Each structure stands twice: as C-alpha cells, then as structure tokens.
Amino acid sequence: MASRKLLLLPGDGIGPETMAEVEKLIALMNDTVDAGFETETALVGGAAYDAEGAPVSDATMALATACDAVLFGAVGGPKWDGVPYEKRPEAGLLRLRKDLGLFANLRPAICYPALADASSLKRAVIEGLDILIVRELTGGVYFGEPKEIIDLGNGQKRAIDTQVYETYEIERIARAAFDLAKTRRNKVTSMEKRNVMKSGLYWNEVVTRIHRDEYPDVTLEHELADAGGMKLVKAPKQFDVIVTDNLFGDMLSDVAAQLTGSLGMLPSASLGAVDDATGKRRALYEPVHGSAPDIAGKGLANPLAMIASFAMGLRYSFQMIAEADALEAAIAETLEAGIRTGDIMAEGCEQVGTAGMGDAVAARFRAKLAA
C-alpha cells in the first residue's frame, strides 16, 4: 500500500469545520481504494499563537517539511487583532510559504454550469470556463529591496518598492506553467509590461527562450498585463494557463476568481521545487477564502473550496488524476442536484450546512470510486 503523508493545518474560524469534510474524504479513500493516506494534524494561526506562542511552531514546520503535502484551512480573526505584528496569524502562512520555497501559486477559475448565473458576466461568456492562473509567489515587487519610505528633509518623502526578478526565478515559474499546460489544453499566455518595465522585457525574453528550447510543442502567447486583464473579463475562455509575476498575478487571479461567483468555491495550490532526494515537489493546498469569523462555529461554511483544494492535492502531489477528476465531478454533480450552502443559495435549491454539503459530495465521490 502506498504511503502518502498529509499534514492537516485546519487553523482558525471555519478552517476546522471545512477541514473536517476533507478528513471524511481521506477516510473514505483509505477505506475504499486503499489510498494509504497518513495524516498528522497541527495548529496554525491564532490557535497556534494561543497554545504554542507562535503562529507556526518549529515542530509544525518540521512536520510540514517532512510530509508530501500540506492542507491548510484558514487563519485569523478579531481575537488576534492586537497580537504583535510578527506573531499575527497570517505570519504562520507566510512562514510556511517562505520556508517551503513555494514559488508557484496556482489559482484555477472554473465555472460550474450550475452556478453560471452567480457570475456578473453573461452565461455564454462564463459557462464552461476552466482557466489556471500561475502566479510567481516569492519574488518581484512585494519582496524586492530597497523597500522603504525616505524623508527627503524638505517636507517631502519618497516611497520606494523594487520590482526585481532574476533569471532562475522566471525560468522555474515558466517551466511550472508549461508543465501544467501539457496536462490541460496545451496553451500558455505570459503576461507582463515589457513596454514600460525592464523586468517585463526580461520576463518576456526568458519565457520565450524556455518555450523555444524546452516546450516547443506548447502554444505560447504574450500579452501586456493590462490588455490581458481586459481580455480576461471580456472573453475569458480564450485562455488556458496564464503565467505572470507576483503583483500582476495577485490582481489577475482575484479578477478571475470573481468571474466565477462565490469565495467559498475557490481552491488554490502553492508549489515549490522538486526535492532532489525524494523527487517530490513541496506543496500546500488551501482555499482562497479566509476564516470567516462571522459564520465560524455555526456549521454554515461552504466546504467546497477546501474540498476542491484537496482535489488539487490529489492531482499535483499524488498524481491521482482519476480520483481528482472524480472528486471534481462529484462537486459539479452536487451543485447540479441543487444542493447549496447559504453563500451560494439560489431559488428552488435545497439549503444545507457544512456537513450536509460534505456528505453530499462524499456520497457521489464514493459512487464514482466504486464504479
């Protein structure tokens, strides 16, 4: 039996409730298809600060380094608004991303046909949408130095951020995007601002070279990030994989997310380098939404973003492609059957809570695994 090691970090707010629905699926897979998942659970965020004095402890970091993939719920909440900056709940997530070297952030934007009317765009524009934004996560203007506000002494100040990319950073995110495209519709669109930014010019040059030398069989297009943003809203289905830097990726992935409706539906993955010793890629899977303190503990949270994040883990960390397809199909069929949590409720549908939604997906997933 394969051994697949998962670290579960439920976190705060609705994190534990939504993670519980994934734990049901893990148990189901171990029982029915002998998946061999071994899980450990640890604290992160405010819960870890309360119990361990830090938003992620060294012991938890050691577990995260040793496992095959991390499943992360959500962190934060008003209870921790006053804690020291470096110990705030979000610092736990940032440390995980940084110490695990998670440089590629994957944000799929999928429009389930049953939810097409929840989009602000027309059904014809959005129905069947399936695109993947690959955002560089550890470089660029959010981290470049100098980063400061200088007092010029004449009543003026100067604020500086530095957009900086080195060759290896662009090469590895480009390779990640091309590899992902090969598992999809074989097309990459690279977005930058080569008309006004040196880093955009160099980004374009490196992506073009990696394509020519290593991935000539994948279709590559280049777009200026502003024009690309317009096309993303006007006719999003023309894209397959979009690769872009940290800043543009932050914005474009949120725009793409909004195309598809609710926050409770959006999964993500953050991938690192392949470990030479094990041949495995470091990875963390998490919903895009936060800890939703307004509904936490009430059994109302939509667990689908957490479940879809687990499906991404099956696909990208465990190469369980058929199982990932089955789980994603189970989500789509559950929605098709009119089952909804409060955040995506529509007329004529049946409203359920967190566990009701998790059970509805699990039943359909079980049937598919057995087929």
Q: Which of these is catalytic: 5, 50, 130, 142?
A: 142
Q: Which tokens sit at 313?
A: 């883990």
Give the separation between CA 183 and CA 108, rounded to whole angstroms.
14
Q: How far is the CB of 283 from ligand NAD (least distance, A)?
A: 16
Choose, by CB under 6 A, the member of 10, 76, 108, 139 that binds ligand NAD. 76
Mark whether 316 is an active-site residue: no
Give the separation between CA 103 and CA 78, rounded to whole angstroms.
29
Query: What residues have CB less than 8 Å from 120, skipping those under 6 apart?
Result: 258, 259
Choose, by CB under 6 A, the member of 163, 178, 343, 361 that binds ligand NAD. 343
Amino acid residing at 77 = G
- By CB under 6 A, tell whether 317 contacts ligand NAD: no
Are the beta carbons of 89 and 46 closer than 8 angstroms?
A: yes
Residues in 85-104 at the binding interface with ligand NAD, rule: CB under 6 A: 90, 93
Near ligand NAD by CB under 6 A, which window of 55-63, 135-143, 282-290, 332-340?
Answer: 282-290
Are the beta carbons of 225 and 231 closer than 8 angstroms?
A: no
Binding-residue total with ligand NAD (CB under 6 A): 21
Choose, by CB under 6 A, the member of 217, 294, 321, 322 that binds ligand NAD. 294
Residue with nearest beta carbon to ligand NAD: 290
- By CB under 6 A, tell whether 25 contacts ligand NAD: no
Give the closest residue to 290 by CA, choosing from 8, 70, 19, 13.
Answer: 13
Q: Which tokens sit at 35?
A: 């998946």
Are the beta carbons of 270 and 94 closer than 8 angstroms?
A: no
- By CB under 6 A, tell whether 267 contacts ligand NAD: no
Residues in 184-213 at the binding interface with ligand NAD, rule: CB under 6 A: none
- By CB under 6 A, tell whether 263 contacts ligand NAD: yes
- By CB under 6 A, tell whether 308 contacts ligand NAD: no
Q: How far is the CB of 8 from ligand NAD (least distance, A)?
A: 14
Near ligand NAD by CB under 6 A, which window of 136-144, 147-155, 156-164, 299-307?
Answer: 299-307
Q: Which tokens sit at 197?
A: 């930014």
Choose, by CB under 6 A, the member of 7, 71, 74, 116 that binds ligand NAD. 74
- By CB under 6 A, tell whether 305 contacts ligand NAD: yes
Helix 15-33, helix 304-316: angle, nearest 10? 50
- By CB under 6 A, tell whether 291 contacts ligand NAD: yes
Give the separation between CA 180 and CA 86, rounded to whole angstroms.
35
Give the separation between CA 247 and CA 256, rounded to whole angstroms.
14
Q: Which of these is catalytic: 226, 234, 275, 294?
A: 226
Give the separation between CA 265 and CA 334, rounded to whole angstroms.
13
- By CB under 6 A, tell whether 75 contacts ligand NAD: yes
Mark whether 226 is an active-site residue: yes
- By CB under 6 A, tell whether 236 contacts ligand NAD: no
Sort 8 into a burial class: Cβ within 10 Å, 0-12 / 13-18 / 19+: buried
**What are the beta bridge partners of residue 109?**
131
- By CB under 6 A, tell whether 10 contacts ligand NAD: no
Mark whether 68 is an active-site residue: no
Choose, by CB under 6 A, the member of 77, 139, 140, 313 that binds ligand NAD. 77
Amino acid residing at 119 = S
Q: How far is the CB of 99 from ligand NAD (least distance, A)?
A: 16
Near ligand NAD by CB under 6 A, which window of 23-31, 226-234, 290-298, 326-334?
Answer: 290-298
**What are the beta bridge partners of residue 269?**
106, 285
Q: Which of these is catalytic: 250, 285, 316, 343?
A: 250
Are the beta carbons of 248 and 192 closer than 8 angstroms?
A: yes
Pairing of strands 69-74, 104-110: unpaired
Mark whether 250 is an active-site residue: yes
Give the separation between CA 249 and CA 268, rounded to whole angstroms.
13
Q: How far is the CB of 93 from ligand NAD (least distance, A)?
A: 6
- By CB under 6 A, tell whether 268 contacts ligand NAD: no
Site residues for ligand NAD per CB under 6 A: 14, 74-77, 90, 93, 263-264, 286, 289-295, 301-302, 305, 343
Hey, which residues are catalytic here? 142, 193, 226, 250, 254
